[in-house]
Structure 1
Amino acid sequence: MRVVLSTYGSRGSVEPIAGLAVRLQELGAEARVCAPPDEEFAKRLAEVGVEMVPTGRPVRPLVTTVTPGSAEGLAQRAAELMAAQFDTVAAAAGGCDALVATGPLPATAGARSVAEKLGIRYVHASHQPVSLPSPHRPPPARRGRPLPSDVADNRALWDLDARIATAMFGEMLNTQRAAFGLPPVDNVRDYAFTDQPWLATEPTLAPWQQPADLDVVQTGEWTLPDERPLPAELVAFLEAGTPPVFVGFGSTPVRDPEGIARVAIEAIRAQGRRAVVSRGWAGLALIDDQDDCFVVGEVNHQALFRRTAAVVHHGGAGTTTTATRAGAPQVVVPQGADQPYFAGRVADLGIGTAHDGPAPTVESLSSALKTALAPETHARATAVAGTFRTDGATVAAKLLLDAVS
């Protein structure tokens, strides 16, 4: 059996797909991943023995140059991303038995069209429940298309979201489909999602609520075990004192990286703690040369988080899952997208705090850290970590193999 996996996004999107590809290969299938051509993704996939097909433009320059929340240039980027599905992904999927797609709607709608043309199994997967239509929550607003504030009925808002999505992407999708010899679709979102999407999240952290209109299959988180050793200099820092507080915002841009680094370090020091600062795509840096802080680049978060007193982060699905699995108390400072949802889940589970707003002050972050560093929060974080499953990628791989066979 041969499977092509298509994704477009940051590390939180690529790593789970890589985890599924590894499990598919362990079960005897051939798997290749279509992913952005960023060097760090190519390196990571090569490390775990997964073939990568570079697809679309690199993600990092797009993320770091676009104003957060801005719709400027969105139509062009969406058209390019969709075209890459009909071109690069279609070529990679030739001779395959199934196509699994995740990522932005232009990518997944294009990917399903490719699967339709080739007559192969298609699965839409999401790494968070926020974007899947549910009567229990409103849809996230699409860039440049705010939802009306005077409508409270969630189903009505999801219906409106479907119309907005088709207005934004319908013409470009149907133009590509016509060139492929395929008929037009009249609901881009629901076409891409299908009636039975997969939700690749840990049920304890991000459950799918019933009843719902979609027949969602929750497989569990697609974990890619990270066996990379921590850098020797980082290990020496960790062993030189008490467990530090980690602070990092992953691939999420922040408006004032210098200011947020200063606030974080001062708040951590106010608790008598040391700090490990992750540069991330925001380019966080140390604020002085004191020896109680250490800066890192790309490192093994699975190993590092187990050795921290707490993790201050943006609330991305990947980082939140990794920190929760490690049993690390968290302070989530959400910047947008699905991050407020994960911040709320951390608070609801009692494994940390959700900061109110994207721009903390020393006082607000110090207050949040006091809660996160409390013994009862640590105990709760340890207990919740013990409930996490580790077989989500294996479950998904077996489901796919069974469905195709």
Structure 2
Amino acid sequence: MRVLLSTYGTRGDVEPLVALAVRLRALGAEVRMCAPPDDEFARRLAGLGIRLVPVGPPVRALMRGAGLPSAAELSRYRTEMVGTQFEVFPAAADGCDVLVAAGLAQIAARSVAEAAGIRYVYVSYSAVNLPSPHHAPPPRPGWPEPDASDNRTLWELDARQVNEQFGEPLNTHRASIGLPAVDNVRDHVVTDRPWLAADPVLGRWREVPGLDVTQPGAWTLPDERPLPADLVTFLDAGEPPVYVGFGSMRPSPDIARWAVEVARAQGHRVLVSRGWADLDLVDDEDDCFAIGEVSHQRLFGRVAAVVHHGGAGTTLTAARAGTPQVVVPLRLADNPYWAGRVADLGIGAAVDTAAPTVDCLSVAFKTALAPGTRARAKALGGEIRTDGAAKAAALLLEAAR
């Protein structure tokens, strides 16, 4: 069996498919992956023996500024990406039996699979990305937020915005390969049988008529890399510190600085993860330590709390470690959703980033570090599953047979 996996985004978009690829190969499947051409992704896939088919510009270059690209730039990137996908995907899918596409940005994937006569599976990493009356659509960068309060109306407006961006380029390309036009691009990409690669304890799917969702669990791999010696020395030198990191996101400089100040004010040492934003220490005091890329699976069990942006992967890893969380979500994609889940489950606190202040961050820290929150986080950690990627790989192979 040959499988083409495809996504476009930051590490949080790529790593789940890497986990699926490893599990598929363990079952004897041949796997290749369409992903951004960033060096770190190329090295990661090469180290696992997975063929990378580069698509689009490097993601880190798009995230180079203090914020996201402008609405006009994002619109241009999205339109160009549709054309790039139609150029690259057919050859990448040649000889494959199934195409697994992760994320709404995979506009061309279903059409290419349809033209090739192969199976197509759409996967989301968060329930919030799938249409449902139980929640509103996620914020989509570069598009105005719909002015409505009813979830059904919001999803209708969301579909309209997706059509306005992608309808014409998608249908032009479909016509060129002899396929009929589609009138709802979002639902065409998502299908009525999507997969949800999220842990059912953290982010369960609530059933919706007309949408048959398969939820095998989150797609992760064990990360057994040892922690750097200097980090271990810092951890061993005192009480567990508070971790502050925002991954590939670029938060307001005030947020990162306030998080360090609040943690210190409440008597905690601090670990600052540099990430793509190149965060650094605010001073040279010995109660703070800056780190680069390390194994969160090994680290998070040794910290007092995890302060982060609300990425699906970071939320899952902190929850699995049984460590309380303070989520400072950017108004982007699934970040607010995971912040809400952490707060609803009582395993941490969420900060309203519409009007963040030191005071609200301080309250969030006190909530997250309270004994009851610690107890709930520890208990929930024991319920998190680790077999999602293996289960998904087995389902794909079973369906192929």
TM-score, length-scaled by structure 1: 0.94
Which residues of 2 match residues 5-404 of structure 1 at below 5 A? Answer: 5-65=5-65, 67-68=67-68, 70-103=70-103, 105=104, 107-149=105-147, 151-254=148-251, 256-257=252-253, 259-337=254-332, 338-357=334-353, 360-404=356-400
Rounded to whole Å, the distance in 1 between the matches of 2:131 and 2:231 is 43
Kept after mapping to 2: 8 A contact 1:14/1:35? yes
Shift of 1:177: 1.9
1:7–1:102: 8 Å Cα contact kept in structure 2? yes
Counting aligned pairs with the same residue, the percent is 62
Does the Cα contact within 8 Å between 2:244 and 2:259 map onto a contact in 1? yes
RMSD after superposition: 1.7
Distance in 1, matches of 2:134 and 2:336, equals 15
Q: What is the number of residues matched between the two proteins?
A: 400
Runs of at least 5 residues in structure 1 that lack an aligned partner in the other structure = none
CA distance in 2 between partners of 1:87 and 1:304 (Å):
42
User: 1:262-321: per-residue Cα shift (whole Å, max 9, x none)?
Assistant: 211111111111111011122211011111111111111111111111000111111111
**Matched residues in 2 for 1:290 and 1:376: separation?**
31
Deviations 1:172-223 (A, max 9, x none): 1112222333222221111101110000000111111124431111110001
- For the 8 Å contact 1:331–1:354, the answer to whether it is kept is yes
SS in 1 for 2:115: helix
Partner-residue secondary structure (3-state), 2:257: helix
* Whole-angstrom distance in 2 between the partners of 1:184 and 1:220: 33
**Once the 2 structures are TM-superposed, how far is the Cα of residue 260 of structure 1 from its aligned partner?**
2.7
Q: Is the 8 A contact 1:109 1:192 kept in 2?
A: yes
Determine the C-alpha separation between the residues in 2 that align with 1:155 and 1:69: 29
CA contact (8 A) 2:8 2:106 kept: no
Distance 1:322 1:176, change over 3 A: same
Structure-2 change in CA distance of 1:356 and 1:147 (3 Å): closer
Alignment partners' CA distance in 1, 2:196 and 2:298: 25
1:261, 1:285 within 8 Å by CA — same for their partners in 2?
Answer: no
Alignment check: 8 A CA contact 1:334 1:358 kept: no
> Tell me, which stretches of 5 or more residues in structure 2 are unaligned?
none
SS at match of 1:6: strand
Rounded Cα–Cα distance in structure 2 between residues aligned with 1:307 and 1:148: 42
- Extract structure 1 runs of 4+ deviating beyond 4 A: none
* 1:1-46 residue CA offsets vs partner (Å, 9 max, x unmatched): 0101001111111110000000000111111111111111122223
CA distance in structure 2 between the aligned counterparts of 1:246 and 1:147, rounded to whole angstroms: 32
Q: Is the 8 A contact 1:135 1:212 kept in 2?
A: no
**1:69-128 alpha-carbon deviations (Å, 9 max, x no partner):** 84121222112222232122221111011000012x3x4220111111111110000001
Using the TM superposition, name which of 108-117 and 171-180 deviates more: 171-180
Query: What is the identity, as a one-letter code, of the residue corresponding to 2:122?
Result: H
Contact 2:167 2:183 in 1 (8 A): yes
The alignment partner of 1:31 has SS state of: strand
